[in-house]
Structure 1
Amino acid sequence: MTDAAGAAGRRLAYLEQLVRAELVERRRRRDWDRRRAFTLQLATVTLSALITVLLGVKVSTGAEQWLANVALALGALVTVLAAWATFFSYRTVWIQRADTVHRLTTLARSIDYLRAGLGEEPPAPEDVDRVHAEFEEIARGDHEAWIRIRQAEGA
């Protein structure tokens, strides 16, 4: 094995490890954003429905004032939760992270395919460079998408 072939093999092994680690982290973040988006949406809808019930229920005069005060407090909480969800854009970030996970999964399959075709042979340096360029494009695209989401929030 030539020195260049050995270097290409080491670089491919490094890329495999890097892609696998990124996939683990990006999946964790995607799932966290999905749960956060779902939780905030469910909370605002549930609290809004509860406010409607509290304001519409027929009770004695003393209890009516108390229920109106609770509904007012819940209305304020819904406003805060809605602002929180809008500011952090969990749903948008979740979708963007899902795209990145998909692209990284596709790259991992490409690496596996490349490895399967190698047998005992080292990879060609240009194949490793192509895989590295694709990984860098995915990372750059993910970062740029995240920046666009954050800039849109400020607009």
Structure 2
Amino acid sequence: MDYKAKLDGLRKELNCTLCYFERKHIMTKHRANIVKISSICFSACITVFLGLNNAIDSSHMLMNVALVLGSLVTIINTVDAFYGFSSLWIKNAVTLARLRELKRKIEFYAAGQEDEYISERELNNFFDEFQKILKDDINQWLRIREKVNSMEKLKETERLPEIQFRNASEKADNIIK
């Protein structure tokens, strides 16, 4: 069996996967930072505008701007809670670090190794570790999604008594009329 070809194939696949996770890592880091910085900046502007509104009689214009910014902060924080950019960024960083570590192990093993001395067992161990890293990444992604989904379900169950009370109140009002 041509173990050199298997080693080269594993290296190629690992390099492609590394490129993919490097792009994902940069993209999720960028998104996480934009969401957090936007939320902080808009919140700070709200505080300043409301403070200025008390100091300057601006016919409530600054209050209206603060209200719009408050709505934007709510939207930004909701998007962040739904997608979990910070959690995804950390997940991708961990996966990327593990993939880089595996690459170093493979490169160290292959350095100066004669083709006839490449071990099938070592290649299989490297491949198994590679598969485990990818499976762990998927499982971590699923845990993040489950956390987001459970938070959404909790919000729905918290709203349920409010909706039931409102419906009961409306029925009572209709009966009274």
Structure 1 residue runs of 5 or longer lacking an equivalent are none
What SS does the aligned partner of 2:137 have?
A: helix
CA distance, structure 2, for counterparts of residue 119 and residue 44 of structure 1: 56
Deviations 1:109-129 (A, max 9, x none): 011011114134351111111
- Runs of 4+ that moved beyond 6 A: none
TM-score normalized by structure 1? 0.91
Is the counterpart of residue 48 in structure 1 residue 43 in structure 2? yes
Higher relative contact order (CA 8 A, sep 6+): 1
Match runs of 1:2-151 below 5 Å: 4=1, 6=2, 8-57=3-52, 58-60=55-57, 63-151=58-146
Contact (CA 8 Å) 1:54, 1:71: kept in 2 or not?
yes
2:111 match: secondary structure: helix
1:85 partner SS: helix
Q: 2:141 and 2:51 mapped to 1: Cα distance? A: 43
Q: Which amino acid aligns with 1:39?
A: I
Identical columns (%):
30
Residues 38-86 of structure 1, C-alpha deviations (whole Å, 9 max, x = no match): 11111101100100111110223xx241111111011000000001111
TM-score when normalising by structure 2: 0.80
Secondary structure at 2:70 match in 1? helix
Q: Provide the C-alpha distance between the structure 2 equivalents of 1:105 and 1:93, rounded to a whole number of angstroms.
A: 18
Number of residue pairs matched by the alignment: 148
Structure 2: give runs of 5+ residues left out of the alignment.
151-177
Alpha-carbon RMSD across the aligned residues, in angstroms, is 1.1
Distance, in Å, in 1 between the alignment partners of 2:119 and 2:45 is: 63
8 Å Cα contact 2:46-2:69 kept in structure 1? yes
Structure ID, larger Rg: 2
Q: How big is the shift at 1:92?
A: 0.7
- Structure 1 position 9, deviation (Å): 1.5
